[in-house]
Amino acid sequence: MESTDSASKVATVSIDDKLATVPREVELEVTHLDGSKETVKVRQIPISKFQDYVNTLLDEAASIALYCDKKKDWADTLAFESANAIAEKGQEINLPFYAAWFRRQAKWRDSQNQGAIAEMQKQFDEAIKALHSASSAQPSPTTTS
């Protein structure tokens, strides 16, 4: 369950049956490798881009860029302290929804696996029946000449 304040700047989400308030976006001043500064918004990833987010979890440059709605190579221009700050804040904002998404995905996979396991069990049972019927069949008569 998620609710928002009137300005839509924060969201109240349920995390393990506890309510938590997380910001939808946070402004951070970042420093680039050339010393220049920029103010960026670290945001809650839109649901329509959430699969992109999941695909970037092991690609920190892509995650940082997605948090700020920038191109991936933009992350390479950041000082490490700024990249770390964005990564930390982005996780803080997005982790509650990610955790809930992951639980839903796990339930879906479990339900699909149960169907697959049931199908495999059915095929196994049919194979056992076929083996039993083949072994209990009368041997064919043999002729000798």
Q: How far apart are CA 14 and CA 76, in angstroms?
A: 35
What's the number of domains the chain is made of? Answer: 1
> Does residue 11 lie within any of the structural domains?
no
Q: How far apart are CA 11 and CA 94, in angstroms?
A: 11
> Does residue 39 lie within any of the structural domains?
yes
7: left (phi over 0), alpha (psi -120 to 50) or beta: alpha
> Does residue 63 lie within any of the structural domains?
yes
Per-residue pLDDT of the chain (145 residues; tens, 9 = 90+): 333 343 445 555 444 555 455 568 999 999 999 999 999 999 999 888 988 888 888 899 999 999 999 999 999 999 999 999 999 999 999 888 888 888 888 887 777 776 666 676 777 677 777 776 766 656 566 666 6
> Does residue 140 lie within any of the structural domains?
no
Show the domain range for 82. Answer: 26-109
Q: How far apart are CA 117 and CA 96, in angstroms?
A: 31
> Does residue 59 lie within any of the structural domains?
yes
Say which residues have a Cβ less than 8 Å from residue 96's Cβ, sequence separation at least 6. 13, 15, 20, 22
Name the 3-class secondary structure at 132: helix
> Does residue 128 lie within any of the structural domains?
no
pTM of the model: 0.62
> Does residue 65 lie within any of the structural domains?
yes
> Does residue 7 lie within any of the structural domains?
no
